[in-house]
Copies of this chain bind each other. A is one copy, B any other.
Amino acid sequence: MTDDGTTRGGGAADTLRAARAGLSRILEPRDTIGHVILTALGAQAAWEIVSGHRGVRGDEHARIDRVLREHAPALPASVRAAGERWKARADGCDPVMDLQRAARSGIWVCIPEDPDWPAALDDLGLEAPVCLWGRGDRARLGGLDRRSVAVVGSRDCSSYGRTVTYDLAGGLAARGWTVYSGGAYGVDEAAHRAALTTATGAVPTVAVMAGGVDRFYPRGNDQLLHRIADEGLVVAEAAPGTMPARFRFLDRNRLIAALAGATLVTESRWRSGAQSTAHHANRLSRPVGAVPGSVQSATSAGCHRLIREGCAVLVADIDDFLGLAGPLGTEKEMEAGPLAIFDGLSEADRQLADALPVITGATVDSLAMVAGLPVRTVLGGLRRLERSGLAVDRGGLWHRPRRR
């Protein structure tokens, strides 16, 4: 057992862990130059530079420039100016002691060099967190699979929003999905509670905090968050002791979006953190769903906006969600496939392609009925779909070709 509460890694791993723990105290998620240095030179060298123990050496300049050019060409690369910023925080920073203190409170830290690091976070590229501080049985980190969903929404949700959240998050947890959320009041709370109640999977729910995992925020959810730590996980990129400042909530949302395989906004106001989570998920090419509600209710305006702007697909029930983000939907090839292929099609042909069964096959007549199209249109459409490889005729029965 090492000092930081894990059973993995020897001395070298401990050094990396301490380096990253230290960096997580100094580098904010938007400290681009810091993350460029981390990406270019690795955790150990980055820690030495960021903590002010040494400057950038000869060939390191070129390596930093290469990462800068690739990821942030617009950024003026002033390590010197950044150094001023880091100095104030670096003074008195003792990551080794930090890790020891954390371990005594049951807090561990997971780093990208660990085998149980959630690979999904790497999709964030330069915006990936330096490390992940956590509470709860760390073995559960390995139990997180692709069937996971971020269920997010407004804090001041309506009873409609609460019910819908409970139904959808609970229904997914009952099917073995892990439910990610932010531990806040309202939709977050309902999502976590539903998952704790109905879960059948290895990890019912994960709360991603904006501040440190040592103090649970908001205080009113203290009991809930303790239960999440007992049965699931509570994680954060901010080091213990970090206050959940306003800007940290927006940065935190990118972690929720990246950790979960899909995002579902169950009720959201026009301006709401859930909008930012949805946009992050979109940028990461994760499926995003949003639940509509009354157009007379301000609490649904954010969901409607996401749907109208094409940032989210309308989700009215659990089948809609599974259709969007189910096991097939989360496969890589499906993510890129359909949109591109279907984009050139007319609405009628798209309807027709949608109506094609994969296994049983369908006659022209039944397709006409299902797709609500005249037989003539169906015949022409099938010929076009066949040419594009989107329909296959097997003895008069039309199928959708299987994707490999």
Residue of B nearest to A374 (CB): B30
Residue of B nearest to A304 (CB): B316
Q: Quick check: A347 and B282 within 8 Å, CB to CB?
A: yes
Q: Which residues of B contact A275 (CB under 8 A)?
A: 372
Size class of the contact patch on chain A: 35 or more
List B contacts of A313 (CB < 8 A). 308
A279 at the interface (CB under 8 A from B): yes
- CB nearest to A275 among chain B residues: B372
Q: Complex Cα distance A191/B322, Å?
A: 36
- A269-281 to B contact mask, C-beta < 8 Å, 1/0: 0000001100100
Residue contact A310 to B362, C-beta cutoff 8 Å: yes
Check if A310 sits within 8 Å of B359, measured CB to CB: no
Q: Find A160's partner among B292, B294, B362, B375 (CB 8 Å cutoff).
A: B294
Does A358 sit at the interface, judged by CB under 8 A? Answer: yes
CB-based contact A308/B301 at 8 Å: no
Nearest B residue (CB) for A317: B295
Complex CA gap A307/B309 in Å reads: 12
Q: A295, B292: Cβ atoms under 8 Å?
A: yes
Stretch at the interface among A106-114, A175-183, A199-207, A349-357: A349-357
Check if A92 is an interface residue, CB within 8 A of chain B.
no
CB-based nearest B residue for A303: B292
List 9 interface pairs A-B (beta carbons < 8 Å), by A numbering.
A160-B294, A279-B365, A292-B314, A293-B293, A307-B307, A307-B314, A309-B351, A311-B365, A314-B314
A-B pairs with lowest CB-CB distance, top 8 = A292-B292, A295-B316, A308-B314, A282-B347, A304-B316, A74-B379, A307-B314, A343-B357
